[in-house]
Structure formats: C-alpha cells, structure tokens
C-alpha cells in the first residue's frame, strides 16, 4: 500500500491566490495592477507563485512594524 504525498501548488490562479490571502478577487487584481503582488502570465492566463504570496506577506508584516 502506498501513501499519497500531498501535492503543493506550484502556481495559483488569481481566485486561488485571493483565497489563500483571504481577500476578494478584485482586491487581488488591484494588488497586481499596482505591482504590490507579482504574477506571471502563461499564454492568456495569469498565475501567482506561492513565493510571491509569501514575499507580499513578509513586506506587509515589516511595513506594519
């Protein structure tokens, strides 16, 4: 019997990234527009890396301290 290893998302859709950050999708797009949060484009699809979410959170944490 094998145990399944959970797969960590390599890229999030904007909807998934918004859910991770617990913000609305429109707020996420605002952050992308002003480049507070970075993303990549694959064809016509926008994707957010988990590292970019972590970096954004770190910047927000240091800005409030």
pLDDT tens sequence across 2-33:
676 666 779 999 999 999 999 999 999 999 99
pLDDT of residue 9: 75
Residue 64 has pLDDT above 90, yes or no: no
Q: Please tell me the predicted confidence (pLDDT) of residue 43.
A: 97
Query: How far is residue 15's CA from residue 26's CA, in Å, rounded to a whole number?
Result: 9
Q: Which of 4, 39, 34, 3 is nearest to 18 (CA)?
A: 39
Distances (CA, A) of 6 to 3, 9, 39, 54: 9, 9, 24, 20
What is the pTM for the complete model shown? Answer: 0.80
């Amino acid at each position: 019997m094998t145990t399944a290893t959970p797969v960590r998302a390599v890229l999030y859709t904007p909807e998934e990234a918004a859910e991770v950050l617990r913000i609305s999708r429109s707020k996420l797009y605002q952050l992308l527009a002003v480049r507070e949060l970075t993303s990549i484009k694959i064809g016509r699809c926008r994707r957010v890396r988990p590292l970019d979410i972590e970096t954004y959170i770190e910047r927000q944490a240091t800005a409030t301290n």
